[in-house]
Structure 1
């Protein structure tokens, strides 16, 4: 299936910019003051909602980092999807083997490398107070936001889904009772267009609206040198369109926001590149060229996603506030990729191990249709002489239908597996806080959770008699699996004010992830069920400010997870198998600092050290297929297959070090300022898989951005920008089932942007 971009020239891209501008700064970010205003007023305070109440970040006994305002705009300026958040806060990494439709999040080393649509992730993404469970739903574009908050450590007592690692919380800019709006558009390398706009204002007494939209697109920039296969001639382009409409109503003590959103994506799947690693090394082979691949399998990707939510609250004076949050989300996703990463094979005369050569052809895809409904009722009391309480109930229901299919070398579909899955979660929670003295505040919470999952697998009747299909499937179909779990999680914390500006805090919290089902049956996989995992986390730190020119926080943590769910991805076959290991541990330190040493200069820096280790001397997995890689851990051979023990290994995609920094300097000129903003993010080396191998130890990655422009007091801005300014290209993930296949990061993007607001 070929992909034809909607816009094929600069002139048409410019037309798209003009249309987006007709929608006519992101609404005031409550998480971070605007740098231009800060030049006169100082840093101000950061307000977060980590406790489900708006509070100063230093008063919340949770490690939390907020991104908003100009920093969020700059990071998202080059058409990237939500993966741009990776390494932009301490302990956070985001990656994908599906491109723009399937982000995987890791906090403090805890995450899930599974590539199946039913994968459970220990990091929850909460968009406008609605928890999104399916990984593909978590890919909704980031635009017109008030803030992004990253909460580290278990957050299960107050948030709607299992959150043993943490929460990424995105909050849309809200409707306003006065007319305001903005339009911003950029054009950059590869005809990359990033256009965004919003308009907000009153409709009637107490009724207001906000309409916002986004267009992101890029030309195909990777040339496919294979001329005889089924893959597109050019790859890595996309067109991603999204919109959101919000209606807000307020009358007396009653408030409500009704929100609806939609997304339409069409583009390339993740581009896999066969044999890009030097045998015995994690460096690229000679001849590697990011602009060229050799693929022969089908390549297509599309996604339509829509949903909405209704958030209501009513306040009873002197008592408290009742909240209701109703969410509904659904999507239809198609993604087909040439997962062997090659277009030539030894049995066709090519040399085993050469760049672009696969051991055998493998072309797979899936069609996924997740549908989720959630309902939360919550009551929060007013302050009762230093005591505040919250309690509520939560219900979640997911229906997930998807197909997994594969093709032969001629492009004929030879297998089609049908999945029909349900996932239901019920929770009851309560929390409270008490101000025991002027300096000491204690908090605690508890949550009871029950999970019920069922997966049913059948074979497409049209292919039931296929000999090739039966060779690929090692189990009898139809087949059903169930998983049930329940848990009581809790947290306790204390905050002590050393001074009005500096707080110490300590927190102990437990986390829970329900039992999971891996129902992949192609390539001789056998369905597996993993029992629930439980986490206990200890952390403490200091948060504060010095005057209005320095803000800081420092935390240290230790976590222990029993029965950790892990996914053995790849190996001898293109398979995924769920396992539980006895335990894993992690510990580290995290820091953030923001300073304004002089009125026009703002600096931020953040970083983390994150140690993770699997502790199970009996756990092992098969290593790479075809004997292509060089395992560096303890191995043994059984039946001709090499296995590697996991004890002592890092968790996958868990870098020891993450660091980020920004610098902004402005010089007043006329009725505005000339400014420069630069940002940098670093993550150290990572393991791609559960076992360790020389080729699959990802090299460290440093990416930087620069933006220089003029911002007028009259509401317009013009600037030039660059992302990945040093053009450092690294592998960020890999596939290990039949060759040394890797995936790379985004190349350097250079462009210009304009913005107008009122």
Structure 2
């Protein structure tokens, strides 16, 4: 597509697509059976949506939280092009996911709350929970999505039942579990750029009291970007990867009072790090430069990335009698990584020709590594299952993380890429919590809920410069220590009222908490010092309605919300040097709404629609940060404080990577063929409006609205046992900047390319 066609108003285009697909709703509503007419026994209806958002199995309609689920079929479709966990971005209301590390390090944002920090010790306000085990380090949060039963997105503070840094919400994954019947599947896909996406699973009984399930994944993409620099030391081609992952589960169910599920999982990633591209923005605008070619780049630094993770878990449960169940959840996770990239995104420097593309003030090539990481978690939870109106949960949680982070600098121009700087951070984080939650069915229609959680969090941190850095001049120094020790009480209170058997309304107020953060990227400071952000707290107010419609042929969830954050933890990333500076905003605010709608428009046509509006604002009249080191058009006012020359005020700016609008639509049409076959078409679309890349506003560093679509045309036979399909991801071939490097030139990185391919899947 031409650059001009890509600049169409994405907001309007996404609405047009949504309205095209939603238009049949009116006709379907008119055709819905009258209230006193019997429903057709042949009409397709939606199964009751069951979730575990409150740590117990419930109908989603009864849960007083704005939530969205994604089932296994939709996950398969969205991931068919070999995408990583970022394929969920924009596919659920109020969810954005981005990364300056590529596949290794996703950053999540819910309702605009997130963290742009690229440090391997970064803390995020969105918690990711995989099979009941929190994944705290950002590298753990990128574990591939395969053989997953469902995903639940829980919006708003979840600080009572999920206690590790959840002021924005939780993304909860549940793996497919072993069964007592032999079953499994195999799937292979091949597409553009030699993309291979293969996965499979097999499970079943392995004795009278045991069952097991083994799942594997392999993904590969060839290097599809040519490095046009004839003098490049390495990486003549870029953006390829090989990724593999596996999960083995063993389940014991041979007792009426005891069950156990054991889980071992691992991941290996080898490829190129995120590809930064120098001066891709037209000065004064966020347009890509004329003639921009996503399949070409010119860099002189090395680009490589490796990541290995391993984990194990045990979920045990005992029926204690008197309608009580005790759960024990044990988790162990570890990660090791190394990621090196050309930060300036170009060749040479203004004083070292040849140089380009565009103005390169000086070369920057750096790496981050995680040579040591270990996380241990343990939770005990006691749950009542009374037939009485009052039920409760209570538990204890323990978290212990030990992490070492290496930061390296390299001499690109004069040292043939030799290392000329090395700094190290070490942190031990211990936390424990006690919590309780009550559910009271006050009347046949009204249910009240409330919970409390006490958390104590302690960090012991040191940072040092082991090898002096040139040219920034960071001397050998350290260790520089820091300690934080805080406690907090989080809580929530809610009510659900059944207006009719099919319509519930709810209200909720909740308080969330994020522990203090410490950073020590000393390598790029002439006078090394630590950066510490105090704990943040958020109060959220939410109300909504959840309903089954049209004799359960449709369901809808709608919520409105407002949140206020005290001491919002923010990160001033980059600037004239490659630094990360932690700071606290006095306050930040967000408000908006979310809509989820699923419906059988006809027996053959299934449609989902999601929408969200998030209006965020930084509220701190004196908060100032350093803008880009040069080249960008800063839109914020200069800071009048003479003690901080060159900084700008960011009061009133939206939070970074917080789109105001998110829309997503899927539609699946199936046409029966013969007795056991089906021809189907599945399309999906996701839109997010403009986003600020950084805390300050600059004309160049504001990502344009992004609209991406997928299409799948397939044939299934033998009652779904076999499936053959053609698929496309990013079918409009959108090319947009999705992030920038806050440095000394207009460097950015772009979205994933269009992938077209074929896929075969067999089940047994």
Alignment TM-score, normalising by the size of structure 2:
0.92
Give the structure 2 partner of residue 14 of structure 1.
Answer: none
Is the alpha carbon distance of 1:386 and 1:239 closer, same or farther for their aligned partners in structure 2, counting shifts above 3 Å?
same
Asked if the contact 1:719/1:752 (under 8 Å) is kept, the reply is: yes
Structure 1 residue 64, shift from structure 2 partner: 0.6
Give the structure 1 partner of residue 369 of structure 2.
Answer: 367
Structure 1 residue 507, shift from structure 2 partner: 0.2
Asked if the contact 2:347/2:354 (under 8 Å) is kept, the reply is: no
Deviations 1:610-657 (A, max 9, x none): 00000000100011102x111112124769953211110000000000
Q: Superposition pairs for residues 82-161 of structure 1, below 5 Å?
A: 82-161=85-164
Is the alpha carbon distance of 1:39 and 1:228 closer, same or farther for their aligned partners in structure 2, counting shifts above 3 Å?
farther
Residues 1:259 and 2:263 are matched in the alignment: yes
Give the structure 2 partner of residue 511 of structure 1.
Answer: 512
Asked if the contact 1:350/1:357 (under 8 Å) is kept, the reply is: no
Structure 1 residue 711, shift from structure 2 partner: 1.0
CA distance in 1, matches of 2:691, 2:214: 41
Picking from 689, 694, 717, the partner of 1:684 is 689
Picking from 219, 224, 227, the partner of 1:221 is 224
Asked if the contact 1:321/1:381 (under 8 Å) is kept, the reply is: yes
CA distance in 2, matches of 1:514, 1:122: 10
Picking from 262, 279, 282, the partner of 1:278 is 282
Give the structure 2 partner of residue 318 of structure 1.
Answer: 322
Structure 1 residue 106, shift from structure 2 partner: 0.2
CA distance in 1, matches of 2:646, 2:54: 48
Asked if the contact 2:422/2:469 (under 8 Å) is kept, the reply is: no
SS in 2 for 1:100: coil
CA distance in 2, matches of 1:424, 1:255: 29
Give the structure 1 partner of residue 68 of structure 2.
Answer: 65
Asked if the contact 2:44/2:600 (under 8 Å) is kept, the reply is: no
Give the structure 2 partner of residue 492 of structure 1.
Answer: 493
SS in 2 for 1:522: helix
CA distance in 2, matches of 1:332, 1:322: 34
Residues 1:695 and 2:700 are matched in the alignment: yes
Unaligned runs of 5+ in 1: 1-37
State which drifts further: 427-436 or 358-367: 358-367
Give the structure 1 partner of residue 168 of structure 2.
Answer: 165
SS in 2 for 1:161: coil
Asked if the contact 1:341/1:356 (under 8 Å) is kept, the reply is: no
SS in 2 for 1:71: helix
Give the structure 2 partner of residue 31 of structure 1.
Answer: none
Deviations 1:254-298 (A, max 9, x none): 111000001111000000000000000000012311001111111
Q: Superposition pairs for residues 107-506 of structure 1, below 5 Å?
A: 107-250=110-253, 251-350=255-354, 355=357, 357-368=359-370, 369-409=372-412, 410-460=416-466, 463=467, 466=468, 468=470, 471-473=472-474, 476-506=477-507
State which drifts further: 361-370 or 326-335: 361-370
Unaligned runs of 5+ in 2: 1-40
Give the structure 2 partner of residue 653 of structure 1.
Answer: 657
Deviations 1:392-421 (A, max 9, x none): 000000000121101002201001112221
Asked if the contact 1:685/1:699 (under 8 Å) is kept, the reply is: yes
CA distance in 2, matches of 1:732, 1:337: 18
CA distance in 2, matches of 1:439, 1:183: 46
Picking from 598, 605, 611, the partner of 2:602 is 598
Deviations 1:353-378 (A, max 9, x none): x6365221010002103210000000
Deviations 1:653-690 (A, max 9, x none): 00000000000001001221000000000000000000
Deviations 1:505-524 (A, max 9, x none): 00000000001101111211
Give the structure 2 partner of residue 3 of structure 1.
Answer: none
Asked if the contact 1:474/1:521 (under 8 Å) is kept, the reply is: no
Asked if the contact 1:343/1:357 (under 8 Å) is kept, the reply is: no
Residues 1:533 and 2:536 are matched in the alignment: yes
Structure 1 residue 499, shift from structure 2 partner: 0.8
Structure 1 residue 316, shift from structure 2 partner: 2.5
CA distance in 1, matches of 2:285, 2:224: 27
Aligned length: 713
Asked if the contact 1:288/1:355 (under 8 Å) is kept, the reply is: no
Give the structure 2 partner of residue 15 of structure 1.
Answer: none
What is the CA RMSD across the aligned residues, in angstroms? Answer: 1.5
SS in 1 for 2:206: strand
Is the alpha carbon distance of 1:356 and 1:298 closer, same or farther for their aligned partners in structure 2, counting shifts above 3 Å?
farther
SS in 2 for 1:204: coil
CA distance in 1, matches of 2:292, 2:126: 34
SS in 1 for 2:647: strand
Is the alpha carbon distance of 1:582 and 1:214 closer, same or farther for their aligned partners in structure 2, counting shifts above 3 Å?
same
CA distance in 2, matches of 1:93, 1:529: 26
Give the structure 1 partner of residue 3 of structure 2.
Answer: none
Asked if the contact 1:329/1:371 (under 8 Å) is kept, the reply is: yes
Structure 1 residue 160, shift from structure 2 partner: 3.6
Give the structure 1 partner of residue 36 of structure 2.
Answer: none
Residues 1:732 and 2:727 are matched in the alignment: no
Structure 1 residue 468, shift from structure 2 partner: 2.8
Structure 1 runs of 4+ aligned residues shifted over 6 Å read none
Give the structure 1 partner of residue 84 of structure 2.
Answer: 81
Asked if the contact 1:39/1:600 (under 8 Å) is kept, the reply is: no
Give the structure 1 partner of residue 726 of structure 2.
Answer: 720
Structure 1 residue 83, shift from structure 2 partner: 0.5
Give the structure 1 partner of residue 522 of structure 2.
Answer: 521
State which drifts further: 561-570 or 479-488: 479-488
Alignment TM-score, normalising by the size of structure 1:
0.92
Asked if the contact 1:285/1:355 (under 8 Å) is kept, the reply is: no
